[in-house]
Amino acid sequence: MLQRLLDWDRQTFIYFNNLGIERLDAFWETVTDTVTWIPLFLLFLILFFLKFPKKEAALKSLTVVALSCFILLATYLTKNYFGRLRPNNDHAINMLIRILRSPTDYSFISGHAASSFSVTTLVVLFLHRQLRWAWLFYLWPVLFSFSRIYVGVHYPSDIMAGALIGLVSACLFYHGYNRFIVRDSASGHPG
């Protein structure tokens, strides 16, 4: 069963990766760069301070930063535990695919998917009452994650697992924020 899933994963990756066309390479190279998304992060921060009192906005921002640090650590530990080669480093398929990036660390899970889905989910959970259109922020993790297949560095299972870990982590941090930070703030206790 596991071998069938890995075969599906590899074939699906090869199929989607080979849909790439040269004239779109620059677009996907830009999408896959974390720096490209700095304006979105600034928008999240601005929205927090526009929609919430300063102290609450600062606490929400710090919660997002804490989640990001947690995801970075979880991704690092998971990649090193599983030690799965990235497609671009896998000699069994790297001649069959388009490679636009060549990282040398491991593949499972996708840090791009985990971080973008976690941050987006937490931001949407914080803002969904203030902004009905907050769900549109999910365009970022979808594009960001798919770019990793396009540039040849992640299998679909890496992305799906990363997205799932990101979603679950964001929900846990949101629950923790409401249980500990909001409750302590409301009761007057200093956290």
H-helix segments, 128-177? 139-150, 156-176
Domain that holds residue 48: 38-187
Averaged pLDDT, 8-34:
93
pLDDT at 182: 80
Count of structural domains, the chain: 1
pLDDT in tens, 143-168: 999 999 999 999 999 999 999 999 99
Answer whether residue 167 is part of any domain: yes
Q: Which helix (H) or strand (E) holds 112?
A: helix 111-127
77: its two tokens:
């530990």
How many C-beta neighbours within 10 Å does residue 7 have?
Answer: 10
pLDDT at 89: 92
Answer whether residue 8 is part of any domain: no
Residue 82's φ and ψ, nearest 5 degrees, are: -80, -35
* CA-based nearest residue to 86, from 10, 18, 5, 154: 154
